[in-house]
Structure 1
Amino acid sequence: MNVGIGLPIGDPTTLLTWAQRADAGPFSTLGLLDRLVYHNPEPLVALAVLAGATSRIRIQTEVLLAPLRDTALLAKQAATLDRMSGGRLVLGLGVGGRDDDHQATGTDIHTRGRRLDEQMAVMRRLWCGEPYADGVGPIGPAPARPGGPEVLFGGFKPAALERVARWGDGFLAAAAPSWAGGLFHTVRTFWKEYGRDGAPRIVAQVNVALGPQHVVDDARATMHAYYTFTGMADQMVAGLLTTPAEISDAIARFTDLGADEVMLYCHGLDPSQVDRLADVL
């Protein structure tokens, strides 16, 4: 089982420390979430900095809100980061559910899923070196991975799960083990229905905080502020894993469900959590 770390968003200046510690440890991936109308760092910019400060670990958006972005520019940015990081980019994509993010970009929240499908069709062509349109040439550079960086889709609704089979390489599941199994099954079923070879890569995500009480309190406060817009902030915070036993159990349960990787998402700022989580592994 590969285990990655989801990076906290409260202070971008701490992320180099997090990344370098994780790169030196047993972790497979660095993940960074995306919002626009919030104080988080822009993920492609931040991960580009972290890619230059590391040598081994993958860098992953989880999830980048693609419908908020210009399609051609996003394709170019992703290809550039993939190429310059030596193929370490994993592009986790989603549609976003906040009205204010879409208001800020002038995009229609009601058509965000359709827009993402249209974006994927264009980006897949561009990453293969095809012209953008009649009279408009290709948009490079060529990504390190033929056909573009690995693409994972996040989401819960059937349309999002089907999108994995139509356009993606795998699924990013921000769900507890108790109900992630059903999502995994649906994704794998769509994969077979579309005649895809092999199996989708399944990446699970759980929220963790490991350390003294002030570390846990910091994570809980940050989580609550971040998820207030959902109306389920209390439930999200209640699911935070705060002991080595809880974290080990979640990894074991996702292993039993056939996940390929578990991302331990850290909301508290203390970078010593990297070392504590390494000890758990």
Structure 2
Amino acid sequence: MTLGLAVPFVDPAALVAWARRADAGPYVRIGVPDRIVYDNPETVVMLAAMAAVTERIRVQSEVVLAPLRDPVLLAKQSATLDRLSGGRFTLGLAVGAREDDFQAVGADYAGRGRRMDEQLATMRHIWAGEPVVDGVGPVGPAPISTGGPELLFGGFAPPALARVARWGAGYVCPAPPGYAGMLFDLVRRQWKDAGRSAEPLLVGQVNVALGPEPTVAQARASLLRYYAFAPELAAQSVNAMATTATEIRETVAAYRALGAHEVMLSCWSDDIGQVDRLADLLA
């Protein structure tokens, strides 16, 4: 089982340093979260900077909220990132769950799932070099990766999970191991029912903070601020955060027992020393 690292909401210039350090190993990918109404760097721009300063690690949106974006532009950005990174770009996607993001860009919140399915079809056409509109196109550049960048999907609802088998290469599970097993099993069944070969990439995700007490305190405060719109969820997220070596090892082992191929370690403190601490702990 491999490890990934999801970066915290900090200054973009600082995240370039996170990418350089993660590229030294043992991580196989580095993820950047996506929000609109929040103090975070724009995901695609940040990933381009990370791809430019790394050589080995995959760069991944963790995850892009597709219904907030124009699909033609997103497809072009993704193909550009795929080429810039030498095929190291993974497009992680989800529909989003915060209405303020949709209000900010004038997007329809209620119809976001339907819009995402339409977007995926459009992006596939673009990556295949087909016209988007009769007499218009194609839209370049062509991606290096056959069929377009690697696609992973996040979410909980059955329609969200069904997109893994229909469109994607795998699933990013934002649920703790006690709940993740059921979601992994559903993804596997849908994958088999769709006639897909091999198996989907299954990625567990855990919020972590490893370091001195100020690091842990900052991570908890960041989580509470991020989920301020849902106090109960905020409290649950803080309680579930793995903050000791034992908790982190046990959570990773639990995902491994469920058949996860990878675990994303989501950091919420700007303490960059966590990159090396987590690597030393789990490598």
Q: TM-score, normalised by structure 1?
A: 0.98
Instruction: Provide structure 2 residue ranges, at least 5 long, that are not aligned to the other structure.
Output: none
Q: Percent identity?
A: 57
Which residue in 2 is equivalent to 1:43?
43
Q: Which runs of 4+ in 1 moved over 4 A?
A: none
Matched, 1:115 2:106: no
Alpha-carbon distance between aligned partners in 1 of 2:3 and 2:198, rounded to the nearest angstrom: 22
SS of residue in 2 equivalent to 1:59: strand
Which residue in 1 is equivalent to 2:274?
273
Deviations 1:139-189 (A, max 9, x none): 111111010000011000011011111111110100101110000000111
Alpha-carbon distance between aligned partners in 1 of 2:210 and 2:65, rounded to the nearest angstrom: 28
User: Aligned-pair distance for 1:247?
Assistant: 0.9
Matched, 1:56 2:59: no
SS of residue in 1 equivalent to 2:219: helix
Q: TM-score, normalised by structure 2?
A: 0.98
Matched, 1:65 2:97: no
Which residue in 2 is equivalent to 1:261?
262
AA aligned to 1:166 is R
SS of residue in 1 equivalent to 2:227: helix
Deviations 1:254-280 (A, max 9, x none): 111111110000000010001100111
Number of residue pairs matched by the alignment:
281
* 1:156-195 alignment, distance < 5 Å: 156-195=156-195
Matched, 1:246 2:211: no
Alpha-carbon distance between aligned partners in 2 of 1:139 and 1:203, rounded to the nearest angstrom: 31
Alpha-carbon distance between aligned partners in 1 of 2:234 and 2:252, rounded to the nearest angstrom: 23
Alpha-carbon distance between aligned partners in 1 of 2:147 and 2:229, rounded to the nearest angstrom: 36
Alpha-carbon distance between aligned partners in 2 of 1:267 and 1:68, rounded to the nearest angstrom: 24
Alpha-carbon distance between aligned partners in 1 of 2:16 and 2:137, rounded to the nearest angstrom: 37
Alpha-carbon distance between aligned partners in 2 of 1:264 and 1:11, rounded to the nearest angstrom: 19
Which residue in 2 is equivalent to 1:80?
80
CA RMSD of aligned residues (A): 0.8
Which residue in 1 is equivalent to 2:197?
197
User: Aligned-pair distance for 1:104?
Assistant: 1.1
Alpha-carbon distance between aligned partners in 1 of 2:229 and 2:125, rounded to the nearest angstrom: 36
Which residue in 1 is equivalent to 2:95?
95
Deviations 1:70-100 (A, max 9, x none): 1100000000001110011111100111111
SS of residue in 1 equivalent to 2:110: helix
Instruction: Provide structure 1 residue ranges, at least 5 long, that are not aligned to the other structure.
Output: none
Which residue in 2 is equivalent to 1:206?
206
User: Aligned-pair distance for 1:10?
Assistant: 2.5
